[in-house]
A and B are shown apart, each in its own frame.
Chain A
Amino acid sequence: MLAKRIIPCLDIKDGQTVKGTNFVNLRQAGDPVELGKAYSIQGADELVYLDITASHEGRKTFTQLVTRIAEEINIPFTVGGGINELKDVERLLNAGADKVSINSAALRNPNLIDEIANHFGSQVCVVAIDAKCIDDTIHPNGHPEIDGTWKCFVNGGRVETEYNLFDWAKEVNDRGAGEVLFTSMNHDGVKAGFADVALRRLADSLTIPVIASGGAGSKEHFRDTFLNGHSDAALAASVFHFGEIPIPELKQYLTNEGINVRL
């Protein structure tokens, strides 16, 4: 049976990891390669490296970093940030990335999804969606209503678009994306659990895997997104970087809860 995946996300700025200073006994937590290796040894199933550098110089540094990651890491990894056109995708895949994650560029030019799928195959194309439930009908437990209006945002969540989350996700699916990475802006950073109601609706309506992002604060939240949110994978950053939830402990817990994970 296909295992549910646990994916740490590393933010990269000028070739260094942004978070990660408290990571378990790792002296070079700032080095994305060393941190990635440590996660891989701990049992992470994949890694996501997000380039948050804005400059052109930074882009070059990131590409060099991707080459190094590919040389040294023996599990799949996705790279994202600053991918605007096909040649950005080609550059990162040539450097050794397994998949690329596109976000704002896909909303501005949806055809980019078709182009990536046709040139390199659906499996390399992860479409990240940042969305926010804009209704005021948020449950006391923090979960927006299933029928709430979810709007997609671009530019790191700063600019609202006309796109509805579920319509856009369906379009992404139909255009040939390989996976959807959904971050709920309502849940991100709150550590009260993933957006499982919306995730379930996504997972049940799409034919491609859905990665849950935003809201992880405890081991139970991971269990809930797999059981209730029907997520195929769960992504988190700070709970892993600061050692709050060690991955081996998380995976043992999920196994005990009857969830199929790679041990």
Chain B
Amino acid sequence: MKIAIVKYNAGNIRSVINAVKRLGFEPILTDDPEELRSADKVIFPGQGEASTTMQYLRERGLDKVILSLTQPVLGICIGMQLLCRHSDEQDTDCLGVFDVDVKRFMPQCHEDKVPQMGWNTIYDTKSDLYNGFDKPEFVYFVHSYYVPLCESTIATTDYVQPYSSSLHKGNFYATQFHPEKSGSVGERILKNFIENI
């Protein structure tokens, strides 16, 4: 099993490498188009800001490489948002795999702090990414922008309003939360991606 992790200018990539290693796999971290295309699974992780990460991907042609991938791809956090059409964050055009725009959380009451930081539940989970999930589960989130519910939604979370905490379209899967930091629940999701998709 060849698991490639997209190397780019986002933060928190090491924790994804560590999480995949804990599952017993040896991922490679690469921005080489051939390495990415020849992998069995590609993870597009990260934490960061939309416009600077998008610009970095474009300058290196990684935007086209990611769009050309045919094997299962998992976007995490900013990776998920970059796979959407557009982000309100610095008014950024993104990759457009998912036909939906990324919005900023607009607090409705004092409890709605932005960023959302901490453990929240995912529910209404669909797709093989959530094999074995039969009740809402807590996962770890850190984000200020969110993806509204749409036809690609495969998990829902409530913060300010119900929104997409996970997406799926074709070979592209994505989570707004960090499975690599979500304890045993996160490990089940990563394991499902690697072994069941």
Query: A interface vs B, CB < 8 Å?
Result: 1-3, 5, 40, 45, 70-72, 74-76, 93-94, 96, 98, 120-124, 178-179, 204, 207-209, 232-233, 262-263
Contacts and interface: CB of A to CB of B under 8 A. Distances in A.
Interface residues of B, number: 37
Interface string B151-184: 0000000110000000000000000001011111
Interface in B1-52: 11-12, 14-15, 18-19, 21-22, 47-49
A117 B98 CA distance: 29
A262 B21 contact: no
B12 A98 contact: yes
Given A3-B138, A121-B47, A209-B113, A74 B181 contact: yes
Given A5-B118, A5-B119, A120-B11, A232 B113 contact: yes
Contact of A1 (B14, B117, B120, B180): B120
Given A2-B118, A70-B15, A120-B11, 12 more contacts: A2-B120, A3-B119, A72-B22, A74-B22, A74-B182, A96-B15, A98-B181, A121-B49, A123-B117, A207-B113, A209-B117, A233-B118
A76 B12 CA distance: 11
Which 8 residue pairs of A and B lie closest in terms of their CB atoms, listed nearest first? A262-B138, A3-B119, A262-B119, A123-B142, A2-B120, A76-B181, A71-B18, A96-B14
Contacts, number: 79
21 contacts: A1-B158, A3-B119, A70-B18, A71-B22, A74-B181, A74-B182, A74-B184, A75-B140, A75-B181, A76-B178, A76-B181, A98-B12, A121-B11, A123-B142, A124-B11, A178-B115, A178-B117, A179-B117, A207-B107, A209-B117, A263-B138
A57 B182 CA distance: 33
Q: Does more than half of chain B's interface fall in helix, strand or loop, or is it mixed?
A: mixed
B86 to A, nearest CB: 21
B106 interface: no
A74 B117 contact: no
Contact of B18 (A40, A76, A96, A207): A96
Nearest to A204: B110
A75 B21 CA distance: 15
A262 B141 CA distance: 13
A62 to B, nearest CB: 17
Contact of B118 (A45, A71, A96): A45
A74 B183 contact: yes
A189 B186 CA distance: 35
